[in-house]
């Protein structure tokens, strides 16, 4: 069973504004509202891949109930801890004229130590040695940044496989506990190492070193339109990103993580994993907002994925 953990979910409001200008009156062309947050986005894509997951997390207020209602209507199993604060709303501004995507994200509500105890209990009540657990995204501002690392360590002790997709100290402390799979992007890798990465060869060298030193079985480094690197004990593979029409970059990394979790849970080989995860990420940028791509679109793109050692 795949479990996704979202400590700081969001209602994603995506507005399309042609020729968006700061300091001027801008008129909205279209808008959509989605249940968001990295783990929730992962669960949505797994659903569209005809897989199953259970979304776990913290929600509060009317925004939180909106997220739960969305997941219920999608047929995604979920269980949340209710908190006192209001779940955040993130604004995404898409400008097709200037070809820009601007994110304005709220920090999220303050949570209590009791909330942490409750969500930790919820996670490990659902987890067993057959579980694949995805720890992804930001956490509320007052949360210990070692939290993913602590949960990765405990999950591993229970025999579960863990996937980490985070940045900053969440990534730093999480990597130190050796997740089964880690998926940083180039920017996150630069922040982690304090080095500028100019090309895939540099990313490859750093990724292989980090994986080796921390006992990470699979390291996936996403590089946007430059593709991605897939590192495991069998070698390192470079996959090209297919050219597609970009509507929104929101959720592309989450779609990749969803396919990685899906393939890991099903025991797919590396070739299948590369093709499906690259296709899922490419399909996500073709969608508006944090909407999950359709199965048909992902399958069509899968045929176009090229990779090499």
List residues with catalytic annotation: 254
Q: Hey, is 214 helix, strand or coil?
A: helix
Tokens of 142: 């007052």
Q: Please count the residues of the chain.
A: 309
Phi and psi for 147 in degrees, rounded to 5? -65, -45
Nearest to 260 by CA among 242, 239, 243: 239
Alpha-carbon gap, residue 258 to 57, rounded angstroms: 17
Q: Hey, is 101 helix, strand or coil?
A: strand
Alpha-carbon gap, residue 295 to 280, rounded angstroms: 9
Task: Please report the beta strands in 187-287, taking only residues with DSSP state E, as ranges in sequence order.
Answer: 218-222, 228-232, 235-239
Query: Got the DSSP string for 156-212?
Result: HHTT-EEEEE--HHHHHHHHTT--SEE--BHHHHHHHHT----SHHHHHHHHHHHHH
């Amino acid at each position: 069973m795949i479990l996704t953990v979202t400590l700081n979910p969001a209602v994603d409001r995506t507005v399309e504004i042609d020729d968006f200008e700061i300091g001027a009156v801008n008129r909205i062309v279209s808008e959509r509202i989605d249940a968001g947050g990295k783990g929730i986005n992962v669960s949505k894509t797994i659903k569209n891949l005809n897989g199953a997951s259970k979304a776990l997390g913290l929600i509060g207020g009317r925004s939180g109930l909106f997220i739960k209602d969305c997941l219920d209507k999608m047929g995604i199993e979920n269980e949340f801890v209710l908190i006192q604060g209001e779940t955040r709303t993130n604004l995404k501004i898409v400008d097709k004229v200037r070809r820009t995507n601007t994110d304005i994200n709220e920090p999220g509500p303050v949570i209590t130590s009791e909330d942490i105890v409750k969500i930790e209990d919820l996670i490990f009540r659902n987890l067993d040695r057959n579980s694949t657990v995805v720890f992804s995204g930001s956490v509320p501002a007052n949360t210990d940044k070692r939290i993913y690392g602590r949960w990765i360590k405990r999950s591993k002790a229970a025999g579960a496989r863990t996937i980490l997709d985070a940045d900053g100290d969440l990534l730093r402390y999480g990597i130190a506990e050796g997740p089964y799979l880690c998926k940083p992007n180039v920017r996150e890798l630069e922040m982690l190492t304090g080095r500028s990465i100019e090309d895939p060869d540099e990313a490859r060298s750093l990724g292989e070193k980090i994986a080796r030193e921390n006992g990470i079985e699979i390291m996936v480094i996403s590089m946007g339109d430059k593709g991605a690197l897939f590192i495991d004990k069998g070698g390192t593979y470079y996959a090209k990103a297919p050219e597609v029409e970009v509507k929104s970059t929101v959720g592309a990394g989450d779609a990749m993580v969803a396919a990685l979790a899906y393939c890991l849970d099903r025991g797919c080989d590396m070739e299948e994993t590369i093709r499906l995860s690259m296709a899922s990420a490419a399909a996500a940028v073709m969608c508006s907002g944090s909407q999950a791509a359709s199965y048909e679109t992902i399958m069509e793109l899968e045929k176009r994925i090229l990779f090499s050692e």
